[in-house]
Amino acid sequence: MGAVTSPALRLDESGERLRLLHVHAHPDDESSKGAATTAKYVAEGVDVWVATCTGGERGDILNPAMDRPDVLANIAEIRKQEMDAAREILGIHQVWLGFVDSGLPEGDPLPPLPEGSFGTVDLDVAVRALVKVIREFRPHVLTTYDENGGYPHPDHIRCHQISVAAFEAAGKDGAFPDAGPIWQPQKLYYNMSSRARYEALDAAMIARGQEPPYAERLKNWKRDSTDRVTTRVNCADYFAVRDRALIAHATQIDPEGHWFAVPLEVHQQAWPTEDYELVTSHVETSLPEDDLFAGIPTKPGPGVGSDA
């Protein structure tokens, strides 16, 4: 008897697996932004890579249980170990671009960024590092943050800058000729987290007779991106995978914190998608979309795990 056949591999028109590259600033960002989308596509046979710009060396300890001297003394190595665990949970390949976390500057006036940190590195140096990854992996689709970095952390803003520049440069003759043969990704997306999402989650909690956990966040919401969303990927079945990947980043994620303020089943019903803005497309597609690969020519693929 043959093995049980999983859903078919998703292939491009040349018969190669569809490929998706997420570009993130720090370890844990791949789990807090688009992780259920990632898990969904991995389950469908898509090859997913994550490029992590920095090691997160200057990240604060956000989980009280991990706020210990031994953790602080080894934060860089621990964050690598956390990334290893999240990578295995998500089923991805992950590469480090090798830059140093800038930290989140605080104060008035803001202090300068640490010398040599990602936010201060020459832009061409950082773009070249990402172009090299793009040309090696040859993704059909690339995702990153919007022009505000999702939130104004200097590493998130720099991640946006190098992602947009590398998306264009990777396919240009003469650009970074030592970074490998040219490759042009077909689509570029920004991760989007809208006010409407948090309003829906709060409303669902109120309907259950429970306190809305995001009332304060909504009260202080300064910038709404709801009207920028072009693409909603239904991935509610993979929210549990996302949660496990989040918890793997134990220094950054408090299991009792805001990430888990809404029960899983409530979140799945109230807002079952992860949302994106299509910024650039070199293929024809119709908006709104429900698939990051919409418009990319494909062909039927064999079942994953089939021995037929």
Per-residue pLDDT tens for 10-21? 999 999 999 999
The pLDDT of residue 62 is above 70? yes
Of 48 and 107, the structure prediction assigns the larger pLDDT to 48
Could you state, in order of their start, the residue ranges of all structural domains in the chain? 11-195+225-299
Q: Alpha-carbon distance 181 to 135, whole Å?
A: 6
Per-residue pLDDT tens for 259-292? 999 999 999 999 999 999 999 999 999 999 999 9
Q: Are 178 and 191 in contact (CB under 8 A)?
A: no
What pLDDT, on a 0 to 100 scale, did the predictor assign at position 307? 42
What pLDDT, on a 0 to 100 scale, did the predictor assign at position 303? 65
What pLDDT, on a 0 to 100 scale, did the predictor assign at position 220? 87
CA 95 to centroid of chain Cα atoms: 13
CATH architecture of 11-195+225-299: 3-Layer(aba) Sandwich (3.40)
Q: What integer is the mean pLDDT of 226-234? A: 95
The annotation status of 26 as a binding-site residue, yes or no, is: yes
* Token reading at 105: 């500057």
What pLDDT, on a 0 to 100 scale, did the predictor assign at position 5? 41
The pLDDT of residue 7 is above 70? no
Backbone φ, ψ for residue 219 (5° rounding):
-60, -35
CA distances from 47 to 18, 40, 41, 138, 140 (A): 6, 11, 8, 11, 10
Q: Is the sign of the CA dihedral 55, 59, 63, 64 positive or negative? A: positive
* Closest to 147 (Cα-Cα) out of 139, 136, 159: 159
The annotation status of 29 as a binding-site residue, yes or no, is: yes
Predicted confidence band at 302 (pLDDT cuts at 50, 70, 90)? confident
Predicted confidence band at 306 (pLDDT cuts at 50, 70, 90)? very low
Predicted confidence band at 4 (pLDDT cuts at 50, 70, 90)? very low
Q: What integer is the mean pLDDT of 23-40? A: 98
Q: What integer is the mean pLDDT of 28-43? A: 98
Length of the chain: 308
Q: What integer is the mean pLDDT of 184-204? A: 96
* Token reading at 279: 């910024």
